[in-house]
Amino acid sequence: MASKKTQECGSIYDLAKQTGLSTSTISRVLNQRGRISTETRQRVLAAARAAGFRPRAAVRQQTVALVIDRMKYASFGGFVTSIVTHLICELASYDMSVEVYTEDNLDQLGTRFIDGVIALTWDPTSISKLQSLKNVPIILINRPNFPGLSTVATDHKQGGEMVADYLIKHGHERIAFLGEEQDWGAKQRIEGIEETLQKNKITKSNLIIGFTEHQPVYGALKRLLTQKPTAIFLAGEDLTIEAIYVLNSVLNTKIPKDISVVGLESPKVSQFVQPPLTSLAQPLHNLASETLNLLRDQIEKNSSKPRQMVISNQLVERESVIQI
């Protein structure tokens, strides 16, 4: 039986033959030694991944790149913090190491021997760079489908349907929605709300939509309240907490006496606001675990073929919605 060293040398010769490069260049790339151009390094690593080859130093532990938007998530709010925490714990349980990348250093990703990529990014440039990586399984979390990339996402449309159905059953027909206009999840939730209104023979004009990109939360809420909704859906974890404060302490609007509220669940927070918040809970732990399960399966099968997975929401009932 050939020794590990003999097997590795054979693989290096195979890679040299395949790429047309010298064995010494292949060795320097795989062992991260010497000065090698980015183009050459990417060429060697792509060939190595396609052949299922790993240098001996990396055999014992697989490495996953975690890509996030530094600018968008500068404050690292509840959603990102929870997802990243779950991911790191899951990765540690499988003895997998993590390298973190943002839009600032994403160019370096192609020069590293990475087994797979998990991405929490909206940045078009970052996504384009990920799409250019060859023979690496890449999974986007809570992002729309992109050519060549796998996705694991919450069923945002189903979430909108759940909230609308719950509010309608409590007598609410004039419903406000507050979120981010450019957020894919917000668009899906609005679609779910509108379809549920139609199913219940309520006109879509009863849905009052506001966005926070164009004005502060205070201004957006004040404008929405002038249109007399009886309930509001706050479509963001951090947005929910800020809006509850503004309603209670700035606009002097009593919840749920003056307006019923459904927010997005913030673990360990939503149950402690006043009043305890009825909320739509994204399955954050499931998002993380299913993402990693899919990634490990693709790594094991040496496959980067795109796959899509959708996970359902849960509605957590507390005290911020009343029957009217």
CATH of the domain at 294: 3.40.50.2300
Same domain, 172 and 127: no
pLDDT given at position 217: 94
Report the SS3 class of residue 119. strand
pLDDT given at position 292: 94
pLDDT given at position 268: 81
Establish if 150 belongs to a structural domain. yes
Task: Give residue 165's identity as a one-letter amino acid code.
Answer: D
Same domain, 16 and 87: no
In sequence order, the β-bridge partners of residue 316 are 279
Same domain, 183 and 262: yes
pLDDT given at position 205: 95
The set of residues, in sequence order, having a beta carbon less than 8 Å from that of 108 and lying 6+ positions away, is 101
All residue ranges of the chain with pLDDT < 70 are: 1-10, 32, 52, 54-60, 71-77
pLDDT given at position 15: 86
Same domain, 147 and 290: yes
Tally of structural domains, the chain = 3
194, 207 Cβ separation under 8 angstroms? yes
Establish if 216 belongs to a structural domain. yes
Domain span holding position 181 = 156-282
pLDDT given at position 77: 59
pLDDT given at position 3: 43
Same domain, 150 and 162: no
pLDDT given at position 253: 96
Same domain, 129 and 31: no
Establish if 52 belongs to a structural domain. no
Establish if 238 belongs to a structural domain. yes
Establish if 100 belongs to a structural domain. yes
Question: What is the tens place of the pLDDT at every residue in 12-71?
Answer: 888 888 888 888 888 888 776 778 888 888 888 888 877 767 665 444 578 999 999 876
Question: What is the tens place of the pLDDT at every residue in 72-83?
Answer: 554 445 778 888
Establish if 195 belongs to a structural domain. yes
Same domain, 73 and 35: no
Establish if 217 belongs to a structural domain. yes
| Residue among 312, 311, 307 nearest 146 (CA) | 307
Whether pTM > 0.95 for this model: the answer is no
Same domain, 162 and 265: yes
pLDDT given at position 9: 45
